[in-house]
Structure 1
């Protein structure tokens, strides 16, 4: 019975709506209102029932006062005859109030308490997933996660305080004053004086508590972000023996947080003392006025009992109000802090009703591109008037030192950033006018810095194609030379093989193992456009040689853009494009570029299978190289490209 009752109210709200979440406004009350989307009928129901409960409680004190008068002035045998309807009214209140409380608490705890913040987390998380790559380059991941979690709870508590607690207190106080005034209007004077003084105390303390609570929420997010950052990069911390330094770095954030805590607790202590003083004055003055009126014969014993009981009840409620108001402003501070992150506009967005990209051939054009990472017109552009045509099925290699613009072109093709001028076309379709999901679905990419999800090996591989069968997963793994080591994997929970979990960012695997899983993932995806950014740099020579053939087969029939500092891995491409400072300085195939005797030829002569190094300070267009560290010798003729 109870379980069915609770389940009915739990099902009133769906915590995971499918419709896309709106962009929350930046103003507090507008933000709060937008967050209540889908919850408003139940918030209103909870609020109205709370008002009824508040009125019931105050009326109950009045009825108790009347009973004292009946006992003093009515003979026992005449009580039912004279006060029958009053007694029946009291019984009705006592019987009806549990039902009201049951429905009110069901709205609050079954319908709203769990579903409301979970729905907000769902919406906030989807909004954060839609933020651009630049957004996450400027934020702690832990800080963003903290704001998603704690802002959702703060919004719920703010609504509960406004729609439940404050309504209860308001209705209770108004009803209480009416009941006391019905005995004698002069009994209202102490309550009126108390509410004025209490309001002044709230006016002084609560905004200050709100201000320090906002600072505290920001300090908490910073502290959590720094702690998470240390855990995320624990290998680097241990490698450089900087555990103590990281502890000190977090300690400074903890100290900033403690400053806000001390400020908050000082205000709370002052408020507590003032509140208790006002409560004692209320009880004393109410009892004194009621006793004086009784001595003058102008008030009954029932009025004395009811007024004093209400003053005592108000003493308890005033402490509750104080903490709830302090909590409200703490939640206000948390919400305001979260607004700065959660309401931030997305910089890379799909156009309304944007169609999906359809790739039949894979022809790519960069036309008159202008791009600066700052995103402003007055920033020095990395690309300015850049043009490049990659024909359908063509395989090109991008060559150039770090900062020449190779990765930038790849990021723009994936639309991780929007260009400030020009356009990028795939099969004649402007990528800024199609959906981002459809664009990236048509592109497979293997990067040098492979990051895996903290899930099973299988989950990581099928990320390229979630509907793939086990047979297809294993086939892709074999092609990527990964099946052998995957079978030997196990984790602390006893999971083995493809079900073994790889740890955060794949930390339980070697760099070469992570790279082979990433290659298997892209092989399974089998997209018509393939991007390779140092795809085999983490592999040893033997495994690299084995995978080269598989990658070469994977490239058949696809448009390929490859970046590599080891020129031998891209020398067999159809065309090589040499970049320097965002400009194309040379292009052609391997043989023609060697014959030209330019930058590429000098790189090839210097490398002997090495890597392109950084340009020395003050040098011209010469690109220096670092020798290889393995013992293999470079062949004169290039091998199949990766």
Structure 2
């Protein structure tokens, strides 16, 4: 799985990395520009106050003209009020656009996650994806609304203010700038150190989120095996690692702040000495010296904020890198350029010379599926049996293109499934998995998940729902507090394993696909319930092509024919009785299934 140690994308410079946000920010750039203009106006108004102050000191104060002094005070007050108004305007202009960018990024990110293949999700930790979706995108929004605008404005303010410092005397301006010049060296070193730490911190936060998610989802297992202390110890180690990284970040920020505070103070002291000398030499007036220090004081906040804004910039850059690592992921399972459409699918499913291996498999390993040839006629039910590791579950993922074949092809009614759009293909091919996944929605919404064509609450939708629940023997739904409108817990954990499997089976049946792929969907059912479900399925499957992975001998009885999978190859196809008579390996497989079923029945009796 992808974790904090991996960096799939090559490093870009900070400007180039952040420039990737442009397509998302482009629609709101006018508003962001207005916010930046308001912030710049506020800074220029602040810079104008020392100039007014100089005029006040030289004029009304020197001449003791109280009338003019009042007007000077009013002028400074007006400038201060206008500055405050511009600060408010900045927030007014940038808040809504930044949240729009956040919204677009988040929805685009989620859409990308939905489109990426299952192979991607096999490799990536869910906590890493969650931290990118929530924390990193929020970081980008805060940077656009605050960091970007202030960084640009403060840089311009420092440039303008530095130029104005030379207005009173070149020696004062030169002293101030020369003393502050080492800040650029400190900033360069800070970027190299903090950029690495920021990436480590955000990746470690993703790893920590994964640990929390796994522990919450697996809380029953941890409690059952008494491993809560072990999970806590693992979490504590990860949390301590993140804490140490955050402390390193804080030390780096503290170091840059040290220079940002120290050097301006040294510059103030030296400029004061130079100013006193120049005043004594009558090259500088008291009013000009006061105005100079007032201007330097105004510049102090922009200069000190550069460290914070620089670290903010690097955090945003790291967050952008992490977000676009997901956007940059390749996706081979996409719609064809010229898709074929099946008007009335018959359900003829065929595997032709199919090979498959996972992307991370070693070259020395054989293909997991090694030349599969298998044909299912329309309306036929075929059971797929084999020992553990023979490739049964992998084979069931290919018709719906959860994975694509490495070689060969899978066809539906003679059309390569890769020539159909994914939306159409997954309308024609329905699936039910052994590990039943349900969503935190109502029973009705879970069962009718694949029927977007039905209007919610319509009589047709209700009829489909009831039929699917009946086939799956899910009558327990009527005993729930709100019946089919009961909201089930996260991942259906408020239900038993058998109840979850029956609802997942009902969902597959309700979709009414031309081809139904069932990966041992009855494994959590007791023998009596399984028999009832199998009887109901016979009625449904008579007009549906079905491929059923069988882990119980009783499931084989549903099938018209049985395919025996052995080490990635179909070694025999026939009826149950034919294979019992002709295949020793089939008899071995069935015997092992019977032994397992006997053990399950014994456990049920003991319970």
User: Is TM more than 0.5 here?
Assistant: yes
**Aligned match of 2:573:** 587
Shift of 1:204: 2.5
| Distance in 1 separating the partners of 2:267 and 2:342 | 72
| Distance in 2 separating the partners of 1:272 and 1:101 | 24
Q: Which structure 2 segments of 5+ residues have no match?
A: 1-7
The partner residue of 1:55 within 38, 44, 51 is 44
| Distance in 2 separating the partners of 1:247 and 1:632 | 33
- Are 2:471 and 2:533, in contact at CA under 8 Å, matched by a contact in 1? yes
The partner residue of 1:630 within 574, 594, 601 is 601
The partner residue of 2:594 within 607, 610, 624 is 610
Summarize the Cα distance change of 1:610–1:395 in structure 2 as closer, same or farther, 3 Å threshold: same
- Partner secondary structure for residue 187 of structure 2: helix
* 1:374 aligns to 2:359 (yes or no): yes
- Partner secondary structure for residue 236 of structure 1: helix
- Are 2:42 and 2:82, in contact at CA under 8 Å, matched by a contact in 1? no
The partner residue of 1:534 within 520, 525, 540 is 520
The partner residue of 1:260 within 242, 245, 264 is 245
TM-score of the superposition, structure 2-length normalised?
A: 0.88
- Are 2:32 and 2:97, in contact at CA under 8 Å, matched by a contact in 1? no
| Distance in 2 separating the partners of 1:465 and 1:218 | 39
Summarize the Cα distance change of 1:268–1:187 in structure 2 as closer, same or farther, 3 Å threshold: same
CA distances 1:253-279 after superposition (whole Å, capped 9, x unpaired): 112212212322222333333332212
**Aligned match of 1:292:** 277
Q: How many residue pairs end up in the alignment?
A: 586
| Distance in 2 separating the partners of 1:344 and 1:250 | 29
- Are 1:219 and 1:257, in contact at CA under 8 Å, matched by a contact in 2? yes
| Distance in 1 separating the partners of 2:290 and 2:445 | 70
Summarize the Cα distance change of 1:298–1:72 in structure 2 as closer, same or farther, 3 Å threshold: farther
The partner residue of 2:289 within 295, 301, 304 is 304
Shift of 1:578: 0.7
| Distance in 1 separating the partners of 2:219 and 2:341 | 41
Summarize the Cα distance change of 1:178–1:631 in structure 2 as closer, same or farther, 3 Å threshold: closer
TM-score of the superposition, structure 1-length normalised?
A: 0.84
**Aligned match of 2:539:** 553
Equivalent residues in 2 for 1:34-433, closer than 5 Å: 34-40=20-26, 41=29, 42-73=31-62, 76=65, 97=83, 100-112=86-98, 114-160=99-145, 163-352=148-337, 354=339, 358-374=343-359, 378=363, 379-433=365-419
- Are 1:230 and 1:246, in contact at CA under 8 Å, matched by a contact in 2? yes
Equivalent residues in 2 for 1:475-490, closer than 5 Å: 475-483=467-475, 485-490=476-481
User: Which moves more between the two structures, 338-347 or 558-567?
Assistant: 338-347
Summarize the Cα distance change of 1:352–1:291 in structure 2 as closer, same or farther, 3 Å threshold: farther
Summarize the Cα distance change of 1:527–1:341 in structure 2 as closer, same or farther, 3 Å threshold: same
Shift of 1:162: 5.9
- Partner secondary structure for residue 434 of structure 2: coil
- Are 2:351 and 2:410, in contact at CA under 8 Å, matched by a contact in 1? yes
- Are 1:575 and 1:588, in contact at CA under 8 Å, matched by a contact in 2? yes
- Are 2:350 and 2:373, in contact at CA under 8 Å, matched by a contact in 1? yes
| Distance in 1 separating the partners of 2:87 and 2:253 | 31
Larger proportion of helix: 2
- Partner secondary structure for residue 491 of structure 2: coil
| Distance in 1 separating the partners of 2:119 and 2:268 | 60
Q: Which structure 1 segments of 5+ residues have no match?
A: 1-22, 491-495, 612-624, 634-642
Shift of 1:196: 0.6
- Partner secondary structure for residue 492 of structure 2: coil
Summarize the Cα distance change of 1:303–1:545 in structure 2 as closer, same or farther, 3 Å threshold: same
| Distance in 2 separating the partners of 1:108 and 1:308 | 32
CA distances 1:406-456 after superposition (whole Å, capped 9, x unpaired): 111111112111222111111122112222222112122222211111222
Summarize the Cα distance change of 1:161–1:285 in structure 2 as closer, same or farther, 3 Å threshold: farther
User: Which moves more between the two structures, 214-223 or 457-466?
Assistant: 457-466
| Distance in 2 separating the partners of 1:290 and 1:140 | 61
Summarize the Cα distance change of 1:597–1:72 in structure 2 as closer, same or farther, 3 Å threshold: closer
Shift of 1:592: 2.1
Shift of 1:385: 2.8
| Distance in 2 separating the partners of 1:24 and 1:272 | 32
Shift of 1:626: 6.1
**Aligned match of 1:5:** none
- Are 2:46 and 2:80, in contact at CA under 8 Å, matched by a contact in 1? no
| Distance in 1 separating the partners of 2:218 and 2:19 | 39
| Distance in 2 separating the partners of 1:174 and 1:218 | 36
- Partner secondary structure for residue 353 of structure 2: strand
CA distances 1:453-506 after superposition (whole Å, capped 9, x unpaired): 1222222112132435362323432332223x223224xxxxx32232322221
- Partner secondary structure for residue 235 of structure 2: helix
Shift of 1:25: 9.2
| Distance in 2 separating the partners of 1:149 and 1:47 | 26
Structure with the larger RCO, 1 or 2 (CA within 8 Å, 6+ apart): 2
- Partner secondary structure for residue 214 of structure 1: helix
| Distance in 2 separating the partners of 1:79 and 1:610 | 105
